[in-house]
């Protein structure tokens, strides 16, 4: 058994975008760009360490973003 922890970030320059479109870009498009590199890094580290290959599952960031919006909407209704 082993534990791998990883954090990854990206720096994005976003210009001339309406404020209402900024949240979906930050919640969907940016993670879709960065996440494949994280997956590759984790797989490479695990393989180089001599452990059996492990590949992180793909993530549907749009569904995750929409679920967060729905959850925030429910919280606003209950408050």
| Contact present, 49 and 2 (Cβ < 8 Å) | yes
| Contact present, 37 and 8 (Cβ < 8 Å) | yes
How far apart, in whole angstroms, are the C-alpha atoms of residue 50 and residue 26?
A: 36
| Contact present, 39 and 13 (Cβ < 8 Å) | no
CATH class of the domain at 19-78? alpha beta
% of the chain residues with pLDDT over 70: 94
Q: Is the pTM of this model over 0.85?
A: no
pLDDT tens for 45-56 read 999 999 998 889
How far apart, in whole angstroms, are the C-alpha atoms of residue 26 and residue 17?
A: 12
Domain ranges of the chain: 19-78
């Amino acid at each position: 058994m082993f534990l791998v922890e990883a954090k990854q970030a990206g720096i994005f320059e976003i210009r001339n975008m309406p404020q209402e479109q900024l949240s979906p870009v930050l919640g969907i498009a940016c993670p879709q760009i960065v996440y494949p590199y994280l997956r590759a890094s984790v797989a490479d580290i695990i393989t180089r360490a001599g452990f059996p290959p492990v590949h992180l599952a793909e993530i549907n960031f749009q569904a995750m973003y929409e679920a967060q919006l729905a959850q925030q909407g429910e919280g606003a209704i209950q408050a």
